[in-house]
Structure 1
């Protein structure tokens, strides 16, 4: 495909060649600077997304930052041109292929995969320092120069495009690429360098094991849901401690994942040295041109990095060549003094980065090293105490729901009959048919109403007809009442000045009523909404209204559980037990929210002396 006329007109200083690539982030053309003779790649960004004032201005700002990135493992941006509807990036052209093509062609060894990982993380670390998130790290965006140097391409473009379109699709593709997308990115939550860490970990998982951490045979939406709601399968065939490093980078919860690229690289370099021995990086044949002192210290580490207690290695087979890999029960573990535990959640101004303390760019939170800090120990004890209190409240809720009495005390005359049965005992009826009341005398007007725990569910009234020495009254309840009522309820009959109550049982299955199925759905809804809020807290974000919202959801859950259990057991709902269950649910939810917030504050707090 030849370059469109608008692109040629916008870049008269370049000779534009044929198309050399296309994807969700735009179309790439080959080019040569007419004066300098320098080969370039020209990316034509998606105009239908950037053809909005906010998106265009955002990318104008982003392009200036991209052009300022100067790192040997980042594809440099030489020029940015915006004319009419065109947004064009002129970048270095790399003809050595992609990591994707090499992986699926000649393949990569374990040493080469780790070296590619260090180069990738070095580029990401430099970009994060400058305030740029990538958000689409994948093997196709890792390019080789003719000298074999790995460079990361397309920094910042996915973030800008997602401002002007949904995250899900653009041009038929997933923004962020579902196989590598971080859980918080798929859910639309606030993003930080940890999102790029997750994608980089997925790349390394694939390069080292030959497969992706999630099933990729069921489509893009299924893949994204797996990232959001399930843990990756443990990496197989990869020796510890490298397996532990990779699995920690793929932790769904931010508190368990590396929060920035340098810590990931430091642990990876130390783990690779422990597995492959000193000098492995040189033997890999993949040049890594810039390493920070922390990563160099890992390369020179004389001891095997410590495996987190939560991730014990397991032996896949016996014998002298047995391989240790990450335990499938706890896939997130591996710590080293240089990396430590995750740092504080990100927040602030541009791109979710906190303001910098100096002019070199935004500073990211360092991973604090876990230790025996007494304040932290006390906070952890408080979290355990809150969780135990929540568990006790849940036990109370369940006990009260089960202790709800089968029948409430009623006073009704044995001479008043519903159908052929006296109402002095519970009477089972089919609410889809008229109710026939008979009794002595002639009360004139007869009315019946149904209720559960004092809540009205429907009523009907009619004039009584003489029947010998008594009366007969045929009452038809509204169709809505027949749909709502299930299990056992309280019936109140008004015959003239006399009011009588008794227990009425419905013949339909409890789950065929709103009182049965509806309360079950309400309980599940309240529980799901509460879990969503707790996940927001665990991911390092603020759940607005948690102090009130949590207990309210717990109250709804407790009341719904009580009513659902009563209906399913065909017990007449008791308002006292219902109130007790609602209060127990609210208390349990309040303790759970408090524990989650306390734990989140413990995770983000820095130890003294840092």
Structure 2
């Protein structure tokens, strides 16, 4: 029994808010959707002109600053007049809706052509030149695209390729915002540049990367990276891995494409026109001087690119010495491999969670994170260690160091004229003072030298020798612990070492220093550890001991070196 085919489902109608916000338009049903919004067909009543109305993501309505930014961007888009850019006719912001009215193109997309009949390498190069021409014109007006992909490359009924959705991703993402808390991706991770995924400052090189990825896919039928594991896994591959070599076409064409998708923006083409010139020149070498004339795809080129496209071909029968490929293979159409088709991103809807940078989304553990964790643990240990270390229990001798210090001697002890009474003050094995008792005083007292009076803070070990016997005390000045060289000096040492360490880390973050900065961090960490120990000893009035200083200094070295290694690895991976 043969079933009756079901008629196609009617397109979902536009919401009432959209219809009400566009009184001069007859708004029809939905004709498309993607990560940057939903598209409806419409007709401008006074002119009878068919248009496409893009309903932008609801996140624009939730952020006044973002909304104002897009209004400014829409004005820039309305002034873009280029044969390879979809023109913007109007921008309406009303009833909580943000609507972009554009030219309606009925010739399909590069993606639809690529997945059905396929495209030849010559067509791919022509599409690439048209795409780069539109990008270069937009970059000259200060507009980045940031979502270059085959589905955003549309054809007119006459076969002219035009780039759509300029500026939308840039505003919605603020140049870096890509992933929502729910895991939705604004933009398409399969074509995303590493710097955009990391939230770094963006330049036209980000669009060069997207255009190069599109061209790579058109020429090979696959993407430069595996697409399994979901959007975040794809983003991580762009950031941390190298793309697979393009082996389906010969050099110099493969070399041009691979240069456009270098991970480091500084290694890519500086702008879209330079990329287009090298692409046109490589195509002329492989396909001949008249390769563009033999195609039915109209392409508008700048004089610089047109000159490269008309370069004389290689001599008859010549092939590139690095990777020879038969010339006839360049005429075969390439289709998308089904296992590499990117999953369409769900559109952002009103009421969804606000976007966050993709760099903040939990990713696979990186070596830098383990070093950062080790640095944090060592820092916590360093702060808590001086508070928990054991201290010697000694009798306390409190004295005003600005006056003679009386000797803590029992009144019944007979003076020993052979061994004079002495006071020796030490801290961490360092002798601070060694003075005899004042011979003119009626009872033993000690006059400390001027330096000793202001050096001592908190507590030091006082060894009193009298009658041939030595006893130790914890000498604690009556003044505040920080009003001393030991107290104030500890504060200054801590501030100095932390400032020096931060300077080294800042140089590592900005890639202005290498492994030497990691080595330099070690003494800074040791100084910081000693400073923490000294401050804790002074404030708690514990007599400082050398082994404690060495222990805390060692923990400080571990914290500083781990922080430097983590900073350096994080900077290198960007």
Q: Do they fold alike, i.e. is TM over 0.5?
A: yes
1-structure distance, mates of 2:66, 2:106 = 31
Rounded Cα–Cα distance in structure 2 between residues aligned with 1:530 and 1:218: 38
Alignment gaps of 5+ in structure 2: 1-11, 315-319, 331-381, 394-469, 473-502, 527-546
Q: Structure 1 length as normaliser, TM-score?
A: 0.54
Kept in 2: contact 1:28–1:41 (CA 8 A): yes
Q: CA deviation at 1:32?
A: 0.9
Paired with 1:151 and 1:214, the residues of 2 have a C-alpha distance of: 26
Aligned length: 371
Equivalent residue, structure 2, for 1:55: 66
CA distance in 2, matches of 1:59, 1:187: 22
Q: Say which SS state the counterpart of residue 91 (structure 1) adopts.
A: strand
1:146 aligns with 2:157: yes
Pair 1:278-2:289 in alignment: yes
1:68-147 to structure 2, matched below 5 A, reads 68-147=79-158
CA separation of 1:130 and 1:164: change in aligned 2, threshold 3 A: closer
- Provide the alpha-carbon RMSD of the alignment: 4.3
Q: Select 2:254's aligned residue among 238, 243, 266.
A: 243
The alpha-carbon deviation at position 82 of structure 1 amounts to 1.0
- Aligned residue number for residue 32 of structure 1: 43
The alpha-carbon deviation at position 535 of structure 1 amounts to: 7.4
- Report Cα offsets for 1:489-524 as digits up to 9, x if no partner: xxxxxxxx999xxxxxxxxxxxxxxxxxxxxxxxxx
Structure 1: state its 5+ residue gaps.
305-311, 324-450, 463-496, 500-528, 538-545, 562-571, 598-610
Displacement, 1:168? 1.4
Q: With structure 2 as the length reference, what TM-score do the two structures score?
A: 0.57
Larger radius of gyration: 2
Distance in 1 between residues matched to 2:181 and 2:61, nearest whole Å = 12
- Cα 1:530–1:217 change in 2 (3 A) is farther
Cα shift readout 1:317-355 (whole Å, capped 9, x = no counterpart): 9x99999xxxxxxxxxxxxxxxxxxxxxxxxxxxxxxxx
Task: Tell which has more relative contact order, 1 or 2 (C-alpha 8 A, sep 6+).
Answer: 2
The answer (yes or no) to whether the contact 1:50–1:164 under 8 Å persists in 2 is: no
Structure 1 residue 230: Cα displacement:
1.6
Q: What's the CA shift string for 1:33-52, capped at 9, x where partnerless?
A: 11222111000111233332
Structure 1 residues 321 and 122: CA distance shift in structure 2, 3 A: closer
- The verdict on how the C-alpha distance between 1:531 and 1:575 changes in structure 2, with shifts beyond 3 A counting, is closer
User: Which residue of structure 2 aligns with residue 162 of structure 1?
Assistant: 173
- The CA deviation string for residues 272-323 of structure 1, in whole angstroms up to 9 with x for no partner, is 00011111112232110x211110111122377xxxxxxx985489x99999
2:229 paired residue number: 218
1:18 aligns with 2:8: no
Q: Distance in 2 between matches of 1:313 and 1:246?
A: 18
Worse-superposed segment, 169-178 or 274-283? 169-178
Which of residues 283, 294, 310 is equivalent to 1:300? 310
Alpha-carbon distance in 1 for matches of 2:176, 2:200: 15
Task: Tell me the alpha carbon deviations over residues 15-41 of structure 1, each in whole angstroms, 9 at most, x when there is no partner.
Answer: 111101111211100011112221110
Distance of aligned partners of 1:533 and 1:258 in 2 relative to their CA distance in 1, 3 Å threshold? farther
